Amino acid sequence: MSANADPLDMRQLRAGGRSHVSPASLLAGAGAGPVAWFVQLAADYGLASHRCFPTQFVRILHLPGWQDIWWELLLINLAAIVVSLVAAALSYANWRRARPHAKAAGHVIEAGEGRAAFIALWGTMTGLGFFVATIFDTIVLLGMPTCAS
Protein backbone atom coordinates (compact mmCIF):
# COMPACT_ATOMS: atom_id res chain seq x y z
CA MET A 1 0.00 0.00 0.00
CA SER A 2 1.38 3.37 -0.92
CA ALA A 3 1.40 6.43 1.31
CA ASN A 4 -0.50 8.52 -1.25
CA ALA A 5 -3.47 6.18 -1.53
CA ASP A 6 -6.92 7.70 -1.57
CA PRO A 7 -8.23 8.00 2.04
CA LEU A 8 -11.65 6.69 0.98
CA ASP A 9 -10.06 3.54 -0.41
CA MET A 10 -8.08 3.07 2.81
CA ARG A 11 -11.25 3.43 4.90
CA GLN A 12 -13.02 0.86 2.75
CA LEU A 13 -10.02 -1.45 3.02
CA ARG A 14 -10.01 -1.22 6.84
CA ALA A 15 -13.78 -1.71 7.05
CA GLY A 16 -13.78 -4.51 4.52
CA GLY A 17 -15.60 -2.43 1.90
CA ARG A 18 -19.14 -3.20 0.86
CA SER A 19 -19.64 -6.90 0.43
CA HIS A 20 -21.50 -8.29 -2.55
CA VAL A 21 -22.30 -11.53 -0.72
CA SER A 22 -25.81 -12.21 0.50
CA PRO A 23 -26.31 -13.14 4.16
CA ALA A 24 -28.26 -16.23 3.10
CA SER A 25 -25.30 -17.41 1.05
CA LEU A 26 -22.95 -16.82 3.98
CA LEU A 27 -25.27 -18.70 6.32
CA ALA A 28 -25.69 -21.60 3.90
CA GLY A 29 -21.95 -21.89 3.36
CA ALA A 30 -21.05 -21.71 7.04
CA GLY A 31 -23.91 -23.85 8.34
CA ALA A 32 -24.51 -26.59 5.79
CA GLY A 33 -21.43 -28.65 6.69
CA PRO A 34 -22.17 -28.90 10.43
CA VAL A 35 -25.88 -29.53 9.81
CA ALA A 36 -25.10 -32.29 7.27
CA TRP A 37 -22.71 -33.94 9.72
CA PHE A 38 -25.26 -33.74 12.56
CA VAL A 39 -28.04 -35.23 10.40
CA GLN A 40 -25.69 -37.96 9.18
CA LEU A 41 -24.56 -38.80 12.70
CA ALA A 42 -28.09 -38.86 14.15
CA ALA A 43 -29.55 -40.86 11.24
CA ASP A 44 -26.70 -43.37 11.23
CA TYR A 45 -26.92 -43.85 14.98
CA GLY A 46 -30.69 -44.20 14.95
CA LEU A 47 -30.87 -46.62 12.03
CA ALA A 48 -27.86 -48.73 12.98
CA SER A 49 -28.83 -49.01 16.64
CA HIS A 50 -32.46 -49.86 15.89
CA ARG A 51 -31.22 -52.66 13.68
CA CYS A 52 -29.52 -54.33 16.65
CA PHE A 53 -31.45 -52.87 19.62
CA PRO A 54 -35.15 -52.63 18.68
CA THR A 55 -36.00 -53.01 22.38
CA GLN A 56 -33.93 -52.82 25.52
CA PHE A 57 -32.27 -56.18 24.77
CA VAL A 58 -29.45 -56.80 22.32
CA ARG A 59 -30.16 -58.85 19.20
CA ILE A 60 -27.42 -61.04 17.79
CA LEU A 61 -29.23 -61.33 14.46
CA HIS A 62 -30.62 -58.41 12.50
CA LEU A 63 -34.28 -57.51 12.52
CA PRO A 64 -36.15 -59.03 9.59
CA GLY A 65 -36.11 -56.59 6.68
CA TRP A 66 -33.16 -54.62 8.10
CA GLN A 67 -30.37 -56.73 6.60
CA ASP A 68 -29.54 -54.25 3.82
CA ILE A 69 -29.61 -51.06 5.93
CA TRP A 70 -25.85 -50.73 5.38
CA TRP A 71 -26.44 -49.30 1.88
CA GLU A 72 -28.80 -46.64 3.25
CA LEU A 73 -26.23 -45.71 5.88
CA LEU A 74 -23.56 -45.42 3.20
CA LEU A 75 -25.81 -43.21 1.05
CA ILE A 76 -26.49 -40.93 4.04
CA ASN A 77 -22.75 -40.60 4.64
CA LEU A 78 -22.03 -39.90 0.97
CA ALA A 79 -24.76 -37.25 0.89
CA ALA A 80 -23.24 -35.57 3.96
CA ILE A 81 -19.81 -35.63 2.30
CA VAL A 82 -21.21 -33.96 -0.82
CA VAL A 83 -23.09 -31.32 1.19
CA SER A 84 -19.95 -30.51 3.21
CA LEU A 85 -17.86 -30.11 0.07
CA VAL A 86 -20.51 -27.95 -1.62
CA ALA A 87 -20.72 -25.79 1.52
CA ALA A 88 -16.93 -25.37 1.55
CA ALA A 89 -16.92 -24.47 -2.16
CA LEU A 90 -19.76 -21.97 -1.66
CA SER A 91 -17.95 -20.38 1.26
CA TYR A 92 -14.73 -20.17 -0.73
CA ALA A 93 -16.58 -18.47 -3.58
CA ASN A 94 -18.17 -16.09 -1.07
CA TRP A 95 -14.75 -15.34 0.40
CA ARG A 96 -13.32 -14.54 -3.03
CA ARG A 97 -16.29 -12.27 -3.76
CA ALA A 98 -16.08 -10.52 -0.38
CA ARG A 99 -12.44 -9.49 -0.64
CA PRO A 100 -12.02 -7.14 -3.59
CA HIS A 101 -8.82 -5.63 -2.18
CA ALA A 102 -6.97 -8.92 -1.88
CA LYS A 103 -3.88 -7.86 -3.79
CA ALA A 104 -3.44 -4.63 -1.83
CA ALA A 105 -4.28 -6.10 1.55
CA GLY A 106 -1.64 -8.74 2.02
CA HIS A 107 -2.23 -11.39 4.67
CA VAL A 108 -5.83 -12.31 5.59
CA ILE A 109 -5.52 -11.49 9.29
CA GLU A 110 -3.68 -8.21 8.75
CA ALA A 111 -6.10 -6.92 6.14
CA GLY A 112 -9.15 -6.51 8.38
CA GLU A 113 -11.33 -7.67 5.52
CA GLY A 114 -14.73 -7.37 7.14
CA ARG A 115 -17.47 -9.59 8.42
CA ALA A 116 -18.50 -11.20 5.14
CA ALA A 117 -14.97 -12.32 4.31
CA PHE A 118 -14.43 -13.52 7.88
CA ILE A 119 -17.64 -15.60 7.90
CA ALA A 120 -16.90 -16.96 4.42
CA LEU A 121 -13.35 -17.94 5.41
CA TRP A 122 -14.62 -19.71 8.52
CA GLY A 123 -17.35 -21.36 6.44
CA THR A 124 -14.66 -22.76 4.15
CA MET A 125 -12.70 -24.17 7.07
CA THR A 126 -15.87 -25.48 8.74
CA GLY A 127 -17.06 -27.21 5.56
CA LEU A 128 -13.67 -28.87 5.09
CA GLY A 129 -13.48 -29.85 8.76
CA PHE A 130 -16.88 -31.50 8.74
CA PHE A 131 -15.99 -33.15 5.42
CA VAL A 132 -13.05 -34.80 7.21
CA ALA A 133 -15.25 -35.77 10.18
CA THR A 134 -17.76 -37.40 7.84
CA ILE A 135 -14.97 -39.25 6.03
CA PHE A 136 -13.88 -40.72 9.37
CA ASP A 137 -17.48 -41.71 10.14
CA THR A 138 -17.66 -43.43 6.75
CA ILE A 139 -14.41 -45.30 7.39
CA VAL A 140 -15.88 -46.59 10.66
CA LEU A 141 -19.04 -47.63 8.83
CA LEU A 142 -17.00 -49.55 6.27
CA GLY A 143 -14.71 -51.20 8.80
CA MET A 144 -16.90 -52.12 11.79
CA PRO A 145 -19.35 -55.00 11.84
CA THR A 146 -22.89 -54.31 12.97
CA CYS A 147 -24.62 -56.31 15.69
CA ALA A 148 -21.35 -57.95 16.74
CA SER A 149 -21.80 -60.59 19.39
Give the pLDDT confidence of 72-122 residue by residue, as tens digits.
889 999 999 999 999 999 999 998 888 765 455 555 555 556 788 889 999
Specify the DSSP class assigned to residue 3.
Answer: T
- Report the pLDDT value the prediction gives residue 97, as an integer from 0 to 100: 87
* Entry pTM: 0.74
What is the residue type of 116? A
pLDDT value at 149 more than 50: no
d(CA 109, CA 33): 24
d(CA 90, CA 21): 11
Please state which of the ranges 17-21, 79-83, 114-118, 140-144 shows the lowest mean pLDDT: 17-21
Give the pLDDT confidence of 22-76 residue by residue, as tens digits.
899 999 999 999 999 999 999 988 887 777 676 666 666 655 666 677 888 899 9
- Report the pLDDT value the prediction gives residue 77, as an integer from 0 to 100: 96
Q: Provide the residue ranges of all domains of the chain, joining segments of one domain with +.
A: 22-143
- Report the pLDDT value the prediction gives residue 13, as an integer from 0 to 100: 45
